[in-house]
């Protein structure tokens, strides 16, 4: 199946007026240019959720959510992008058409998958050849059966430097072989050689069963090489979104609504062959929130089965919060101190493991066992609670955030209200450092006039007329910005405007990848002020920005002067004089003529 072409998605967005769509869910009231309601995504008494009919976006000044009509439906109905597109297409009676992926993309991902398919076969055959004997013996000695080896197409990469490369070279270009991650380039003569050598090979597939990459394990551990080596990120291998084994186990997971999560390929295979067929493992990276999001499509519950040692328990804690953030019920299976799922199953068998699974602790019980709050000092308690709040604070669902905080309060025997207050204070503090210095409708607090200037210029780049945007492209640069977050936003905005200077402002957020920048820009869009003299504000802000930088430079020179040798002093004094002159000339340099300049 192809994907829905960009222009169809645009057509669907155009045909679904955001005010109409949102009104079906919430009572909207018009106030000024926008519509307002109490936010459906956080608990509030006054309306801070607003919808802009002209820009076709929504934004909540309370909790910071925002986006276009598709984002709203996704958030509100808890739909995937594809599902939201489908729903809005039906609403507007637009037939969905699919396109094939672009020829270039098609050829690359198609070829890369084909190449991996070949590599899987080659490694698998080699495992069952004479040169693979030691590897096969090793797998058998670890209790992996031939049936499992065949089912998961395990393989062996021999020691030879160009074993795989020489077999692929006839069919694929060197460039593509390099892109696949199966080969690396020699620094000396740029020649390609195999990335995986003398390793047992575990093919990794995406959840639809397309080959994506490999994990390779040393049979004998040595000090020089990593025990596990994984494919690098490639166009077909995104580690943060791929779970090992999900292509095989997804149906069982869907049926049981439950997934067992383990850390490694060996743990996975051992569980699978002992009849635990609703299992997944991370692949080449720790368990991420993207993994949780992926798993959420199939399961309601996750049971974490990590190593029994200290490192395993820490990994459990991290994973537990990733899983909880996406509203999977989480339980923790506890293994004896020096066991992992693989070793435990081989020693104790499936039934014992099954019992452990049945006894797996609910998350809060695990936290109690992990922290043992009753034995903690006050300082330890407050540190632990601080860390936990930090995790909870980034849960996307505010209701879930609050429920979790209440549980934590119970666990550590702290007053709920105090902790909830702390949660909100913590979030407003960590955001106020960056994101929400400039909140909503209230008068803005800027630390300096320079900061205000940086902010207004961003607002103009998004909202103002074409001549002002053009002047922005010519005169603004991230090096002029002091505020780190605003600098990042400017950088992202300039990139978008450089590709398309006349992009409708409501479409800009769709082009921004970073979620924080995106939300901030949506906020800028909602704050557009009518009746301001854009050109004057632009010039004033630009002058302010220059002035801020000149002043900082002047202060720096003054500090230099204090330590300068007598030979250096005249030069520094001269620079200071030039600096004062430059400040005086700002009015002459920046006037309305800057909007007339032709592009060079």
* Nearer residue to Zn ion within complex by CB, 53 or 396: 396
Give the Cα-Cα-Cα angle 389, 524, 514 (nearest 5 degrees): 55
**Hey, which residues does 260 pair with through a beta bridge?**
279, 303
Report the nearest approach of Zn ion to the CB of residue 554 (Å).
44
Check if the beta carbon of residue 35 is closer than 8 Å to that of residue 29. yes
Q: In whole angstroms, how large is the CA radius of gyration of the chain? A: 29
Separation of alpha carbons 331 and 306, rounded Å: 12
Burial of 170 (0-12, 13-18, 19+ CB in 10 A): exposed
* Nearer residue to Zn ion within complex by CB, 91 or 393: 393
Check if the beta carbon of residue 41 is closer than 8 Å to that of residue 60. yes
Report the nearest approach of Zn ion to the CB of residue 399 (Å).
12
Separation of alpha carbons 478 and 177, rounded Å: 37
**Tokens 């720096």 belong to which residue?**
556
* Nearer residue to Zn ion within complex by CB, 42 or 55: 42
Dihedral angle computed from the Cα positions of residues 288, 289, 293 and 298, in that order, rounded to the nearest 10 degrees? 50
Which pair of structure tokens corresponds to residue 480? 């002029």
Report the nearest approach of Zn ion to the CB of residue 440 (Å).
11
* Nearer residue to Zn ion within complex by CB, 348 or 397: 397
Report the nearest approach of Zn ion to the CB of residue 51 (Å).
12
- 32-40, 119-127, 191-199, 324-332 -> range binding Zn ion (CB under 5 A): 32-40
Report the nearest approach of Zn ion to the CB of residue 59 (Å).
9
Check if the beta carbon of residue 521 is closer than 8 Å to that of residue 512. yes
Report the nearest approach of Zn ion to the CB of residue 44 (Å).
7
- 25-33, 41-49, 233-241, 351-359 -> range binding Zn ion (CB under 5 A): 41-49
272 lies in the binding site for Zn ion (CB under 5 A): no
481 lies in the binding site for Zn ion (CB under 5 A): no
42 lies in the binding site for Zn ion (CB under 5 A): yes
Burial of 332 (0-12, 13-18, 19+ CB in 10 A): buried
Tell me which of 9, 12, 37, 39 binds Zn ion, using CB under 5 A: 39
- 53-61, 73-81, 255-263, 546-554 -> range binding Zn ion (CB under 5 A): 53-61
Report the nearest approach of Zn ion to the CB of residue 119 (Å).
49
Separation of alpha carbons 32 and 552, rounded Å: 41
Report the nearest approach of Zn ion to the CB of residue 65 (Å).
6
* Nearer residue to Zn ion within complex by CB, 49 or 172: 49
Torsions phi, psi of 37, nearest 5?
-155, 170
- 36-44, 264-272, 352-360, 550-558 -> range binding Zn ion (CB under 5 A): 36-44
* Nearer residue to Zn ion within complex by CB, 40 or 143: 40
- 33-41, 154-162, 388-396, 518-526 -> range binding Zn ion (CB under 5 A): 33-41
Check if the beta carbon of residue 177 is closer than 8 Å to that of residue 168. yes
* Nearer residue to Zn ion within complex by CB, 42 or 274: 42
* Nearer residue to Zn ion within complex by CB, 19 or 586: 19
Check if the beta carbon of residue 341 is closer than 8 Å to that of residue 315. no
Helix (H), strand (E) at residue 217: strand 211-217
For the chain, the residue count is 600
Report the nearest approach of Zn ion to the CB of residue 61 (Å).
8
Cβ-based neighbour number of residue 569 at 10 Å:
12
- 37-45, 135-143, 280-288, 344-352 -> range binding Zn ion (CB under 5 A): 37-45
Report the nearest approach of Zn ion to the CB of residue 43 (Å).
9
Separation of alpha carbons 314 and 145, rounded Å: 31
Helix axes 133-141, 103-127, angle to 10 degrees: 80
Check if the beta carbon of residue 334 is closer than 8 Å to that of residue 286. no
Torsions phi, psi of 24, nearest 5?
-65, -20
Interface of this chain with Zn ion, residues 190 to 229, rule: CB under 5 A: none
Burial of 318 (0-12, 13-18, 19+ CB in 10 A): middle
Using CB under 5 A as the binding criterion, the count of chain residues that bind Zn ion stands at 6
Tell me which of 41, 205, 214, 395 binds Zn ion, using CB under 5 A: 41
Separation of alpha carbons 119 and 204, rounded Å: 12
* Nearer residue to Zn ion within complex by CB, 39 or 493: 39
* Nearer residue to Zn ion within complex by CB, 62 or 211: 62
Separation of alpha carbons 586 and 594, rounded Å: 13
- 52-60, 66-74, 280-288, 320-328 -> range binding Zn ion (CB under 5 A): 52-60
Which pair of structure tokens corresponds to residue 47? 């309306």
Contact letters for Zn ion, residues 54-83 (x by CB under 5 A): ------x-xx--------------------
* Nearer residue to Zn ion within complex by CB, 41 or 366: 41
CA distances from 387 to 219, 286, 290, 318, 496 (A): 39, 19, 21, 11, 36
Report the nearest approach of Zn ion to the CB of residue 344 (Å).
46
Report the nearest approach of Zn ion to the CB of residue 68 (Å).
16
Among 280, 287, 241, which Cα is nearest to 258's? 280
Cβ-based neighbour number of residue 147 at 10 Å:
9
Which pair of structure tokens corresponds to residue 368? 């109690």
* Nearer residue to Zn ion within complex by CB, 143 or 396: 396
Separation of alpha carbons 5 and 24, rounded Å: 27
Report the nearest approach of Zn ion to the CB of residue 402 (Å).
13
Check if the beta carbon of residue 501 is closer than 8 Å to that of residue 468. no
* Nearer residue to Zn ion within complex by CB, 25 or 98: 25
Report the nearest approach of Zn ion to the CB of residue 290 (Å).
24
Report the nearest approach of Zn ion to the CB of residue 62 (Å).
4
* Nearer residue to Zn ion within complex by CB, 60 or 295: 60
* Nearer residue to Zn ion within complex by CB, 63 or 350: 63
Residues that bind Zn ion (CB under 5 A): 39, 41-42, 60, 62-63
């Amino acid at each position: 199946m192809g994907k829905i072409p960009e222009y169809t998605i645009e057509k669907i967005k155009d045909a679904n007026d955001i005010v109409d769509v949102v009104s079906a869910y919430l009572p909207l009231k018009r106030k000024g240019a926008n519509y307002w309601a109490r936010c459906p995504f956080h608990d509030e008494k006054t309306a801070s959720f607003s919808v802009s009919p002209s820009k076709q976006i929504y934004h909540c000044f309370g909790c910071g959510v925002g986006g276009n009509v598709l984002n709203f439906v996704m958030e509100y109905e808890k739909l995937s992008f594809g599902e939201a597109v489908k729903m809005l297409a039906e609403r507007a009676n637009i037939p969905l058409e699919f396109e094939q992926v672009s020829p270039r993309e098609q050829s690359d991902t198609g070829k890369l998958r084909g190449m991996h398919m070949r590599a899987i076969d080659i490694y698998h055959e080699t495992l069952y050849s004479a040169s693979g004997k030691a590897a096969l013996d090793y797998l058998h000695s670890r209790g992996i059966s031939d049936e499992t080896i065949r089912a998961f197409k395990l393989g062996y990469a021999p020691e030879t430097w160009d074993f795989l490369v020489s077999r692929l070279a006839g069919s694929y270009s060197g460039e593509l072989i390099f892109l696949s991650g199966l080969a690396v380039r020699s620094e000396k003569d740029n020649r390609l050689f195999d990335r995986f050598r003398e390793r047992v090979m575990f093919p990794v597939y995406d959840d639809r069963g397309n080959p994506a990459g490999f994990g390779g394990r040393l049979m004998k551990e040595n000090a020089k090489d990593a025990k596990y080596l994984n494919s690098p990120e490639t166009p077909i291998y995104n580690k943060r979104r791929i779970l090992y084994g999900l292509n095989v186990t997804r149906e069982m997971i869907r049926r049981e609504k439950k997934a067992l999560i383990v850390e490694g390929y060996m743990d996975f295979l051992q569980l699978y062959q002992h009849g635990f067929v609703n299992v997944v493992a991370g692949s080449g990276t720790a368990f991420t929130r993207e993994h949780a999001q992926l798993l959420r499509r199939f399961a309601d519950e996750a049971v974490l089965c990590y190593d029994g040692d200290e490192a395993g328990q820490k990994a459990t804690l991290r994973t537990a919060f990733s899983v909880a953030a996406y509203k999977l019920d989480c339980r923790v299976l506890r293994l004896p101190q020096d066991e992992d799922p693989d070793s435990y199953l081989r020693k104790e068998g499936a039934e014992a493991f099954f019992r452990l699974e049945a006894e797996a602790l609910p998350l809060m019980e695990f936290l109690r066992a992990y922290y043992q709050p009753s034995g903690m000092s006050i300082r330890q308690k407050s540190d632990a609670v601080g860390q936990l709040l930090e995790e909870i604070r980034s849960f996307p669902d505010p209701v879930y955030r609050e429920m979790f905080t209440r549980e934590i309060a119970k666990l550590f025997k702290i007053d709920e209200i105090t902790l909830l207050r702390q949660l909100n204070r913590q979030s407003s503090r960590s955001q106020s450092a960056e994101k929400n210095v400039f909140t909503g409708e209230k008068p803005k607090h800027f630390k300096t006039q320079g900061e205000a200037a940086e902010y207004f210029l961003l607002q103009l780049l998004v909202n103002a007329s074409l001549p002002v945007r053009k002047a922005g492209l010519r005169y603004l640069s991230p090096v002029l910005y002091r505020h780190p977050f605003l600098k990042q936003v400017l950088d992202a905005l300039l990139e978008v405007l450089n590709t398309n200077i006349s992009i409708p402002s409501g479409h800009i957020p769709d082009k921004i990848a970073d979620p924080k920048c995106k939300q901030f820009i949506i906020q800028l869009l909602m704050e557009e002020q009518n009746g301001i003299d854009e050109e004057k504000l632009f010039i004033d802000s630009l002058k302010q920005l220059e002035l801020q930088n000149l002043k900082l430079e002047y202060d720096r020179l003054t500090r230099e002067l204090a330590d300068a040798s007598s030979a250096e002093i005249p030069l520094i004094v001269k620079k200071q004089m030039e600096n004062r002159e430059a400040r005086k000339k700002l009015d002459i340099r920046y006037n309305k003529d800057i909007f007339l300049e032709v592009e060079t």
